Structure 1
Amino acid sequence: MHIVQIIPVIGSGSGVAGSAHQLGTQLRELGHTVESFTADDARGHSRKRFRSLFLHRLSRVWYAIDFSIAGTRKAKRFLAERPDAVSICHNAVMTGDIYVNHGVVMAAMRARGNTKWRMLRNPLHTFTFFRDLIRYRGHTHRAIVALTDREVDVLNRVYGGVAVPVTVIPHGVDLDRFAPPSPEQRAQARAALNLDDEHRVALFIGHEFDRKGLADAITALAHAPTVMLLVVGGYASAIERMRSHADAAGVAERVLFVGPRSDLPAYFAASDMFVFPTLYESYGLVITEALASGVPVITTRVGCAPDVIVDGENGYLTDRDPASIGELMERIAATDVTDWRDACRASVEQLTWRATAQKYVELLTRVVPERASAEGVGG
């Protein structure tokens, strides 16, 4: 099978780009031909980088809109030159046989409150909502992939129904990259952060601090006196704002900000638990990465969490209540992290990227005759 993935950016790492990269790798290993059509392909050059935060954000808005509009036209031309190919669209572009829903902007805004203000203050959010309203209520694609059953409900609630069939295919997790550390790897990871055996470390990973609940995790430290919080990700201004929050909560000496990092396995190796009181996730890949690393997870009931977390076995599901979060952090801190590892790892071992790729192949196989039939009628 000849498969084209349409995505703004693709590459190793996390997020949508990393997921598409993992999917493409597995599809190739299954014997399929895989190409990518990216925003750089649409523009004919790499995206310009700005040092100014304002210009950087403005460029993100422009490039996203440009890839949705001009990128759609160029992607259609790209696919027309490959009439034998089937296509998977991951974001923005309004074409492709299958569209993968990696998130619903309206759901994310509603979860944070003040929805209208949040939508209007960011023109990209408003543009994305109306673009995807056309996508889901129309027949731009032949099938939609949602990452969880809950996300199917979100799509129907936000857009008033989806016109084409929706199939649930969860993300895989890189079980080779994310694995329980050896005692030597754990000791090395903790030494790099100047942590000793007495420290009980809760890890938080994410860039969108407000939506992902970092303030609640910091406040929870007041109810977990033996725990320190290690924060990976974020931008300079957001980090400074959370430093002030930690200072006001009286826990600043127990919060360590390390900024954006790509070597996530080392931070999982150094940690005793992963805390993630997020408001909304279409999936929450970092949850399964933590479990694959043998780290128990404290998280809210969003994304994949209710599907993989069993209270007391590989972590805990909680509300966004700092007191409850702190009590659970303290409960895990009183245990030995090695007691959790086998159950955490076992809970996600079935979520391989190979299994995910095979489900996409099954869906594409169903789509191909439908497209051929429609093209025959059109002809």
Structure 2
Amino acid sequence: MKISHYFEFEDHVTGGIRESVAHQRKMLDRLDLEYTTEPTLEADVFHCNLMGPRSVWYARRARKRGIPVVAHTHVTAEDFGDSFRFTNALAKPLRPYLERAYGLADALVCPSEYNRGLIEGYVDGSTPTQVISNGVDREKLEGFESLREEYLERYDLEPPVVFLVGHVIKRKGLETFVETARQLPDVDFAWFGPIDRSLKGRETKQLIDSAPENCTFTGFIDDIRGAYAAGDIFFFPTHEENEGIALLEAMTAGKAVVVRDIDTFSWLENGEDCLKVAAGSSTAADANSDSNAAVATDGGPTSFVDAIESLRDPDVRDRLGSNARERSEGFSLETIAQAYERLYAEVV
């Protein structure tokens, strides 16, 4: 079996989608499946990770030739907004485009049950969907502990450090992150990841520039292990997420996790492997949210400040982090690889 494993705009797209593709190819190598990263119809399966115009062109022709098409549903209109400049304007027309594009597939791969629920609304049951996690590359994080002192010193951070990993964008809870840091001036907050100011809107840049002194934006770092080495509390107040590879990585590193209580994270257990906070707004726009107007859920913290305050206790951090590490084992590439082997066999 030969697979055309195509990632349109591969040289330009970064972040979670790029990581997911890297994970998939590592799993294909592990399974010893033959594949090419070029788009071609000289294959048994055409698998596209981003439904751009070239992918759509190939998908249409693959279907005419009887070659099964598998498409990943990394992109939705819901998570496209509040990312970079102009994405809000593009989010509305993006949905009908994706409805047509995803409708060309013989099978859709969704990274989470939440994403699957959204996508089934796009294709209205016309295309089979299957949930396969993006997974976590445990090997990539090996030895992260040895970098702790180096990265704490590099960014002048004092433990326990509240941190986040990924592109600095509003949708991931930028305002909440900054405002929570402002309310906890004696705690260091660090967001590890590219800022790309030229791609950011005015509000995003204002939030970054007006952040308090205890809130550090590191920009791109050359070794992502350094983020998980320096950080102690992974704070992920995102408003919309298809899964969250950085979350899985933080759990694998045994970090205590604080998340916004949104449908994407329904698989996490509040008080067991994370702390959840139900904020006053679940919209995708930070500007419309009240970062700490939270409602208690299942006896959990009533605000993000409350949650982080409780994690000053190292015993609480260790318990939640240990449970998170154990829970993350089900997302290892070794565990997920077999799902791809079954998927390709089914569509062929």
TM range (shorter): 0.7 to 0.9
2:50 to 85, 91, 98: 91
1:326 aligns with 2:305: yes
1:4 aligns with 2:4: yes
Which amino acid in the other structure matches residue 22 of structure 2? H
CA drift of 1:14 comes to 4.4
Query: 2:300 maps to which residue?
Result: none
1:310 to 269, 273, 283: 269
1:187 aligns with 2:149: yes
Contact 1:107 1:154 in 2 (8 A): no
Q: 1:28 & 1:348 partners in 2: Cα distance?
A: 22
Contact 1:149 1:168 in 2 (8 A): yes
1:360 to 337, 340, 346: 340
Which amino acid in the other structure matches residue 359 of structure 1? A
SS in 1 for 2:314: coil
1:129 to 70, 80, 95: 95
SS in 2 for 1:3: strand
Structure 2: 5+ residue stretches without partners: 60-67, 280-289, 293-302
Query: 2:314 maps to which residue?
Result: 335
CA drift of 1:179 comes to 5.2
Which amino acid in the other structure matches residue 168 of structure 1? V
Which amino acid in the other structure matches residue 276 of structure 1? F
User: Structure 1-normalised TM-score?
Assistant: 0.73
Superposition CA RMSD, Å: 2.7
Contact 2:15 2:167 in 1 (8 A): no
Residue 126 to residue 304, structure 1, CA distance change in 2 (3 Å): closer
Q: 1:345 & 1:13 partners in 2: Cα distance?
A: 26
Q: 1:362 & 1:241 partners in 2: Cα distance?
A: 48
CA drift of 1:191 comes to 2.3
Structure that is richer in helix per residue: 1
User: Structure 2-normalised TM-score?
Assistant: 0.78
CA drift of 1:105 comes to 1.6
CA drift of 1:160 comes to 6.2
1:177 aligns with 2:178: no
1:104 aligns with 2:83: no
CA drift of 1:338 comes to 4.2
Q: 1:103 & 1:301 partners in 2: Cα distance?
A: 21
Radius of gyration: which is bigger?
A: 1
Query: 2:34 maps to which residue?
Result: 33
Contact 2:257 2:321 in 1 (8 A): no
Q: Percent identity?
A: 22
Residue 273 to residue 179, structure 1, CA distance change in 2 (3 Å): farther
2:117 to 153, 161, 168: 153
CA drift of 1:261 comes to 2.5
Query: 2:251 maps to which residue?
Result: 291
Structure 1: 5+ residue stretches without partners: 38-74, 247-251, 369-379
Residue 355 to residue 277, structure 1, CA distance change in 2 (3 Å): same
Query: 1:214 maps to which residue?
Result: 174
1:349 aligns with 2:329: yes
Q: 1:153 & 1:304 partners in 2: Cα distance?
A: 10
